[in-house]
Amino acid sequence: MTSPHSIILSAFADEVGFKKTAVEQLTALAAMGLQYYSPRFIDVTGSGETKHIMTLSEAELKTLKELHAAYGIHVTSIGSPIGKVKLIDKDDGTHNRYVPFADYLAKDVQTAIDRATFLETKLIRGFSFYQPRGDDPTKYLPQAIEQIGRITERCAAAGVVYGLEVEANLIGQNGRLLGEIARQVNSPHMVLIFDGGNLSSQNLNVVECFAEYEAMRPYLGWLHIKDYQVDPGLPWTGVVEEERLRNFVPAHLGDSGHERILRDLRQHLPELNASMQKLGAPGVFLELEPHMKGGGQFGGFSGPDGLGVACRSLCSLLDYVQIDYELRTFEHIRQARGF
């Protein structure tokens, strides 16, 4: 990075893909000028079978790593679903699964750590567990904090960082709850991931979204960039249903208030960059996950055109608030050619 007021652009490239092949995803990233992404759903070999990054075979991981080198792409984080399981084994009418925590820690969490190590990233994206639907999430904070703390300890032992994303329907569904989790876990190896669209889709306005961001800021690690226009015709029931997830828009058009958030972020970037670099990451990432053509519980779709629109929107906004970023230039091509 060229200045302490720089960020690194990244994306969930599976949002571009109709078939989600690795070649499709990496080609789109390179064409947009990006050098980082978080792998999630991917068809490494072009066989027609899309897998999650957590279920790829050793051979597929090796092939993916070779493709990264060929395309000049690096991994931001492992786009894992860790923490998107029930905290307790209770039938609440959802299809969310429950896994005994000891098994979850030994298998799923360890798999995410192994993927991060192999693909040479220090970051793992994760979540804060589902409380029984309809229950007050604060009732479940002690157990969630204990389990997230144990996940963090395992990550720290491996030299990686657990990033906890704010998202509806989970215990950490807002910035205040996530901030309390981070305060009590109290580890540099657990940071928070802000996502404005995951807040405004809960019918929060610009002022409310900024307040949630402020609650997360002392523990912030990186940001996902998506935005959402609140539909006044959809009454808020306290739960984000799938039909709500159709109003995502570029970062300058929604109700998350990205301009105000990014202006504030700029003031804190020098210390945030220093903190993340101390943990082994290259800096603070702004990661596109825009859901331009729709979203859901475990991912979204933008198409190559939608991701391109979202990227240009974000770059324009960054220019406006004077945050530096880097896209590929001819110098990158010259270096790749050995000049």
Which structural domains are found in the chain, ordered by start?
8-336 (3.20.20.150)
Q: Looking at residue 118, what is its pLDDT?
A: 98
Neighbours of 145 (CB within 10 A): 19
**126: β partners:** 164
What Cα–Cα distance (Å) separates residue 35 from each residue in 17, 150, 306? 17, 32, 18
User: Tokens 């105000």 identify what position?
Assistant: 260
Q: Which residue has the tokens 């029984």?
A: 132
User: What is the per-residue pLDDT across 188-227, written as a single tens digit (0 to 9) for each?
Assistant: 999 999 999 999 999 999 999 999 999 999 999 999 999 9
Q: Check residue 78 and report its DSSP letter.
A: B
Closest CA to 190 of 149, 224, 157: 149
Tens of pLDDT along the chain (339 residues) come to 558 899 999 999 999 988 999 999 999 999 999 999 999 999 999 999 999 999 999 999 999 999 999 999 999 999 999 999 999 999 999 999 999 999 999 999 999 999 999 999 999 999 999 999 999 999 999 999 999 999 999 999 999 999 999 999 999 999 999 999 999 999 999 999 999 999 999 999 999 999 999 999 999 999 999 999 998 888 888 888 777 778 899 999 999 999 999 999 999 999 999 999 999 999 999 999 999 987 766 678 889 999 999 999 999 999 999 999 999 988 877 777 665
**Cα radius of gyration rounded to whole Å, the chain:** 19
CB 54, CB 92: distance < 8 Å: no
> pTM for the full model?
0.96
| End-to-end Cα separation, the chain, in angstroms | 21
- pLDDT tens track for 5-25: 999 999 999 999 889 999 999
Rounded Cα distance, 279 and 121, in Å: 11
